[in-house]
Amino acid sequence: MHRKIKRSPLFYVGDKYKLMKQLTELFPREINNFYEPFTGGGTVFLNVEAKRYYLNDNDKHFINIHKFLIKSSDNPRKFFKGVEKIANKYKLSKSYKEDIIPIALKKEHKKTYFARFNKVGYEKLRTCVNNYRKNDPLILYMLLIYGFNRMLRFNGGGKFNLPVGNVDFNKNVVSALGDYFEFVKDKKIKIGAKDFRKFFADKKFVKNDFVYLDPPYLITASEYNKFWDKKSEADLLRTMDMLNKKGVKFALSNVSHYRGNKNDLLINWMKKYKVHKIQSNYISYHNNGKKDIKEVLITNY
Ligand SMILES: C[S@@+](CC[C@H](N)C(=O)[O-])C[C@H]1O[C@@H](n2cnc3c(N)ncnc32)[C@H](O)[C@@H]1O
């Protein structure tokens, strides 16, 4: 019987939620230490059973939220009290608990009433985080949950700059948080915010360790791909050859072809290993009937 696939309560854009079943079927059966240098929202580790977890992402905001959620797993009630306090103070709707949106507003703006109702409070909360509660992980999390596309985005001056979204703190969020708390609560997890090269620098691997990597993809477009270049890609591939020499199992997610582009560096490198086709959830239709995206999982076992 298959376990339910958990989705991270960070609702990370480009997460692996829809692909988890395909991926975990290709993961090793027995995992000692699980390493994930590009954790993002964390959907992958939430669906992997291991003795210990070493998680990392160079986005410090997401890592701070993970740290906060892991800490909160000791006392979810306190966490939800904090959520309520902020929602009440900033007059944000919280449909997981009650429906406070006036019927007239719902009727007038059938598809956008959450955004209309929460806009003013959301902007105040944004000002709060930008002016004096800079790294408050709960406020950042609330901005993410109520924000546009459920993302975090900062301008060059470090100010959070996304607008309100047409969503709120609903039952799906609470259920994803419940799964997250339940999963992490008695686990041994180390988590940090380093560049992947530094992450690997001090690791000593032992038998049955497994590294899963989901880096930015060189040829697709995404907010977190901005600083990913051919040098990063080459460094990553070299690191994986090093893991292979040490006998450490790895699996790398990537995209070899995308809308007429191909990643030659990757395509040449992956010939050495096993390449599994993944049924991608990218928008994958179709130039003249040809699929223009190839998503792969590359393993050395
Ligand atoms: C494709 S996303 C991972 C998504 C994740 N698998 C999920 O399900 O949510 C790639 C991640 O790599 C991180 N990243 C980008 N450059 C990095 C670097 N040099 N070192 C470590 N992490 C990096 C980004 O912040 C982003 O979260």
Q: Is the pLDDT of residue 291 over 80?
A: no
pLDDT value for 292: 79
Ligand 1 atom closest to Cα of residue 39: 5
User: Ligand 1 pocket: which of 58, 197, 240 to mutate (most atoms <8 Å of CB)?
Assistant: 58
Q: Is 53 in the pocket of ligand 1 (CB under 6 A)?
A: no
Task: Give ranges for CATH 1.10.1020.10 in the chain.
Answer: 66-175
- Look at the domain 17-58+194-299 and name its fold: Rossmann fold (3.40.50)
Rounded to an integer, the average pLDDT of 272-288 is 75
Q: How remote is the CA of residue 59 from the centroid of ligand 1, in Å?
A: 8
Atom of ligand 1 nearest to the CA of 8: 9
Mean pLDDT of the chain: 93
- Mean pLDDT, range 71-92, rounded to an integer: 98
pLDDT at residue 2 tops 70: no
Does the pLDDT of residue 286 top 80, yes or no? no
Q: How many angstroms does the Cα of residue 146 sit away from the middle of ligand 1? A: 22
- List every span in the chain annotated with CATH 3.40.50.150: 17-58+194-299
pLDDT tens track for 26-53: 999 999 999 999 999 999 999 999 999 9
Phi-psi category of 254—alpha, beta or left, where left has phi over 0 and alpha has psi -120 to 50?
A: beta
Q: How far is the CA of 40 from the centre of ligand 1 (A)?
A: 5
54 Cα–ligand 1 center, Å: 14
Ligand 1 atom with the shortest distance to the CA of 225: 15
Average pLDDT over residues 100-127: 96
- pLDDT tens readout for residues 199-243: 999 899 999 999 999 999 999 877 777 889 999 999 999 999 999
pLDDT tens-digit readout, 164-204: 999 999 999 999 999 999 999 999 999 999 999 999 998 99
**Domain 66-175 adopts which CATH fold?**
Adenine-specific Methyltransferase; domain 2 (1.10.1020)
Instruction: Tell whether ligand 1 has an atom less than 6 A from the beta carbon of residue 235.
Output: no
Q: What single-letter amino acid sits at 109?
A: H
CB distance 90 to ligand 1 below 6 Å: no
The reported pLDDT for the residue numbered 100 is 94
Q: What's the confidence (pLDDT) of residue 236?
A: 98
Predicted pLDDT at 284: 47
Percent of the chain with pLDDT over 90: 86
Q: Does residue 192's CB lie within 6 angstroms of at least one atom of ligand 1?
A: no
Q: Which atom of ligand 1 is nearest to the CA of 10?
A: 9
Band the pLDDT of 132: cuts 50, 70, 90.
Answer: confident
pLDDT band at 289 (very low <50, low <70, confident <90, very high): very low
